[in-house]
A and B are shown apart, each in its own frame.
Chain A
Amino acid sequence: MEMVALATGIMLGLCGVGAGIALIAGIGPGIGEGQAVAAACEAIGRQPEAKSDVTSTMIMGCAIAETTGIYGLIIGILLIFVAPGIFSGVLRSTVEALKPLL
């Protein structure tokens, strides 16, 4: 039983670490969006008459870039709320299957 408790603890800890690593994906899009908007500012400065088109493209581009961060967020949430239940079930069934052998 101690082994099962230890394994469950390690599994829960690794799920938390994994969720933390997944959320690192949010750093990249932020930097990219910042650079994109700064470049768009230059473009608007050069061609003020194209402001509407540049803004529209910029918003859509930023939304696409942000999806990467949202993927990471979804993986993190799944690792915290869904994965422990699944892994606990697998662990329990594995222990029950191994009981006759032990």
Chain B
Amino acid sequence: MGKLDPTVRKETGYIAAWVLALSLLMQGVFLLLGKWEFPVLTGNLIGGITAIGNFLLLALTVVKAAGGPKEKVALRVRSSMTARLLGQAAIAAIAVGVLHTNVLSTLLPLLFPRIGIALRPLIDRKRGKGTKQEHTAEAEGSDLIE
């Protein structure tokens, strides 16, 4: 983890937090519906770890490719994307077909990073508001002092 690019670490941490939060929410929904079983938990674990791992690999590939020659960048990212997609398909197929995990709880966590990214502008806007308020408060304070 020490050698990771700070941007990659920050973004992966953000996505991991969202996957964890939404996974807990999903487990809660399964519990409320009375359909919670052990395969739901194992499926959620496999799906969640796959989603976070996929995002981490994507970020690492993009950061590495961005530093390389421009001609090879597109090819490198394309091949990485194909490999990651096939890897995800294999993991999901093994989890559902061999380990008999719950299909929904295995596949839904793969979409959790997208939900986290979609909600990001809202969080950023809230943070931006907070800093703006702090700035205005500071400015008002300095006016008063003057």
Contact = CB atoms under 8 A, between A and B. Distances in A.
Interface of A: 23, 26, 29-31, 33-35, 37-38, 40-42, 44, 52, 55-56, 58-60, 62-64, 66-67, 69-71, 73-74, 76-78, 80-82
Interface in B1-53: 5-8, 10-11, 15
A37 B58 contact: no
Contacts of B103: 77-78, 81-82
B78 to A, nearest CB: 4
A10 B6 CA distance: 52
Contact of A70 (B10, B75, B96, B110): B110
Contacts of B75: 34
Contacts of A41: 65-66, 70, 73
Given A67-B114, A76-B89, A37 B81 contact: no
Contacts of B58: 59, 62-63, 66
A40 B66 contact: yes
Contacts of A58: 62, 66
A74 B81 contact: no
30 contacts: A26-B82, A30-B81, A30-B85, A33-B81, A34-B75, A37-B65, A38-B74, A40-B66, A44-B66, A55-B62, A55-B63, A56-B11, A59-B7, A59-B11, A59-B58, A59-B59, A60-B11, A62-B62, A63-B55, A63-B114, A64-B114, A66-B81, A66-B84, A69-B85, A70-B85, A70-B110, A77-B96, A78-B103, A78-B107, A80-B93
A59 B9 CA distance: 12
Interface in B69-90: 70, 73-78, 81-82, 84-85, 88-89
Contacts of B59: 59
Nearest to A43: B66
Given A37-B66, A59-B8, A60-B117, A77 B89 contact: yes
Contacts of B73: 34, 37-38, 41
Contacts of B15: 63
